Structure 1
Amino acid sequence: MTLLDYSSDEIAKVAGAVMVSGMAVAMVDMGVVSTAIEAAAMAKEVAGASKKYPNNTIIQTLFSEEAVEKAKADKTPKIEIKAEDMKPDTAVNTAINAITEALAVLSTKATPEEIRQYKEFIYSCAETVANAAGSGLFGTGEKVSPSEAAALAQLKAVLEL
């Protein structure tokens, strides 16, 4: 995969599925402090993706340091998410739809191994968010709430992991 193999809409779908999945887990059990902690954890997971998956062209093309710098310079289309799609009761379905669209794009353009790793990466991001902050004061306490666990189970099912 190179950026030349994909339209800007396809690139946004493939990158967006990762981001929306992490956001969905954060939204199902939202708190001011915990959401900030979860966002930081998600950013760290995405930033480390190219090292974790050094041979995956999907991840290298979209999430390596070079790709991020190129996207900033080229004004790559931003991922657009409507507020109503990321409410606690709609966020997981939004993520499932985003994953389904991304996998449809990749089905004819990436290898089965790259797709498997991409799915693992999506789930890893979502799981990192769920484990980032607890339900107690200032993010302490039980790390994965029942609603986060349910969201993770739904994402795992759609990713077929």
Structure 2
Amino acid sequence: MATYTSEEMSKVAEAPMMIGMAVAMVDMGIVSTAIEAAAMSKQIAGAATKYPNNSIIQAVFSDAALKSGTVKMEKPDIQPEDVQSGAVVDKALTTVDAAVAAIGDKATPVEITEFKQFVYDCGDAVANAAGSGLFGSGNPKVSDKEAAALAKIKAAFAV
């Protein structure tokens, strides 16, 4: 099992947060954002169980790792102009690239593919968490803007 530095783990932790926030921010609503945040939290909480043999995910998202406090979860730096221009998704993808680069050759190609799938799943969970309408209950759940963001992320990750 590979060991990661706290800096590497922080970069890994930031990746799903940025992707989730990017998807949430392309089509924001007050109530839907709270529902989407809960959906992303659920994905992160379940990651270690879903990927029990992935050293990246275990190092950062296992119960032990989350409780230890060694991984610093910082609020992503997203500017309003990034959201308006659509650059928020590009910025999120850059964050994921930085996480993969930080991991370097400590993880196997399979682990990196699983990590990208997990990060994509975080964005997908956010998009599917709430629709338009009263209290996020409307359909469709995934807006056109969210679908476009997910397509761009999926293409970038090749998952």
Task: Give the structure-1-normalised TM-score.
Answer: 0.89
Which structure 2 residues correspond to residues 30-49 of structure 1 after superposition, within 5 A?
30-49=28-47
Q: How does 1:22-101 map to 2 (within 5 A)?
A: 22-71=20-69, 74=70, 76-84=71-79, 87-88=83-84, 89-101=86-98
Give the Å deviation of 1:25.
Answer: 0.4
Query: What do the CA deviations read for 1:50-98 (whole angstroms, capped 9, x no partner)?
Result: 1111111111110011110112xx4x43324223176353321111110
Task: Confirm or deny: 8 A CA contact 1:45 1:125 kept in the other structure.
Answer: yes
Structure 1 gap ranges (5+): none
Partner of 2:127: 130
Deviation larger for 88-97 or 27-36: 88-97
Which residue number in structure 1 is paired with residue 145 of structure 2?
A: 147
Q: Residues 32 and 131 of structure 2 are in contact (CA less than 8 Å); yes or no, is this contact kept in structure 1?
A: yes
**SS at 2:73 equivalent:** coil
Aligned-partner Cα distance in 2 for 1:107–1:8: 14
- Shift in Å, 1:6: 3.1
Q: Which amino acid aligns with 2:95?
A: A
Paired-residue identity, %: 52
Q: Which moved more, 1:82-91 or 1:96-105?
A: 82-91
> Could you say which residue in structure 1 is the equivalent of 2:12?
14
Q: Distance in 1 between matches of 2:59 and 2:53?
A: 11
Instruction: Determine helix, strand or coil for the equivalent of 2:79.
Output: helix
Q: Which moved more, 1:5-14 or 1:76-85?
A: 76-85
Going from structure 1 to structure 2, the CA distance change for 1:78 and 1:41 (only over 3 Å counts) comes to: closer
Counterpart for residue 105 of structure 1: 102
Matched letter for residue 44 of structure 1: K
Deviations 1:6-64 (A, max 9, x none): 33322211111111101110000000000000000000111011111111111111001
Higher mean C-alpha displacement, 21-30 vs 76-85: 76-85
Q: Is the 8 A contact 2:17 2:76 kept in 1?
A: no
Unaligned runs of 5+ in 2: none
Native 8 Å contact 2:13 2:73 kept in 1: no
Displaced runs of 4 or more, over 3 A = none
User: Equivalent of 2:112, from 112, 115, 120?
Assistant: 115
TM-score, scaled to structure 2: 0.90
State the number of aligned residues: 156
